Amino acid sequence: MGLTRVLVKDGGFGTQMTVHVGNSVDGDPLWSARFNATNPTAVINTHLDFLQNGADLILTNTYQTSVEGYMEYLELDEQESVELIKNTVRLAHIAKEKYLTECYEAQLEIHEGYPLIIASIGPFGAHLHDGSEYTGSYADYVPAKTITDWHRVRIEACLEAGVDALAIETIPCQMEAEALVEMLCDDYPDVKFWVAFQCKDESTLAHGEDFADAANAIWDLLAERKALDKCLAVGVNCVHPKFVTPLFKSLNGERSPDEQIPLVVYPNSGEVYDVTTGWQGREHCVPLENYVPEWTQLGAKIIGGCCRTYARDIRRISEAVHDINKLKKLV
């Protein structure tokens, strides 16, 4: 699955889902993951929204899923929780089949093998409900093995249900990323993945490590294990879009196109979250599609959206990416 053309990822799942369920996602300890149990049709339709607007790959609605979370907030037992995670992956498959049927009936051409279904593997901190996914503070006191053991349950459920790759995403600290990559190399040699860090500014991870150092460390780790072909990309997500270019320049700016590390990017809209008033500043956001040329020049191979990005935003990113691929004759 080495990437030649630039691919379009979907947008903010919880954001687009509000179109189907109203404003009942933010503030829930399970976030959008509750609806895997209570409103699976809305999950399928959210996936479909992104596919119909140009996404080449969709992420399963498993970012905030954990056995502990489902046991506590949905009162399921361990086996039922694992089964719900598997079923969540199946919802993405149902959406894909519906979309392929629509394309077939409309005689629309699609790239063979697409769309891809990628398992969303959010950070350890997401299940703690204390905001530590945006600080990585748990890296200072939680052993790496505790973190990988916790991840393993969800990863295995997603793999059993059938995914094309894993999105190791919104990772705030270098330790968690390295531990996960080592585990994937050791125990899941055939599984493809990308690693996307959460960064607090134009140079550092949420936990304070240098982004370029962390990304290079992951790449070197894979090279040592002769496993570079497992990794689709390294990059960032859930960041302000204005940070992306300096972050990517710090990693790939001095490299020739042939030597560039393949990058993945799916930033937030550029709005800022305020605890009392919610998301603010949409009118001041630079449209994400405007960044596509500079990000691809720096090595971006997968581009999409995160918080506050809707299917309509993905449509515009898709059009910009299509123009780039056309230019490079990769369509």
Annotated binding-site members for Zn(2+): 238, 306-307
The Cα 300–Cα 234 span in angstroms is: 9
Strand partners, 222: none
Sorted by sequence, the CB contacts under 8 Å of residue 122 that are 6+ apart come out as 62, 63, 64, 133, 169, 170
218's enclosing H/E stretch is helix 211-224
Of 184, 173, 178, the closest CA to residue 141 belongs to 173
Please, which residues bridge with residue 167 across strands? 120, 194
> What's at 321, amino acid-wise?
V
299 backbone dihedrals φ, ψ, rounded to 5°:
115, 5
Q: Residue 170 and residue 173: Cα distance in Å, rounded? A: 9
Report the C-alpha gap between 118 and 55 in whole angstroms: 12
- Residue 225 CB neighbour total at 10 angstroms: 15
Question: Whose structure tokens read 């493809």?
Answer: 192
Q: Which residues contact 247 (CB under 8 A, 6 or more apart)?
A: 199, 202, 203, 211, 212, 236, 239
**Whether the Cβ atoms of residue 295 and residue 244 lie closer than 8 Å to each other:** yes
- Enumerate the known binding-site residues: 238, 306-307
Q: Please say whether the beta carbons of 47 and 95 come within 8 A.
A: yes
Give the CA angle between residues 308, 310, 311 to the nearest 5°.
165
CA 57 – CA 114 distance, rounded (Å): 7
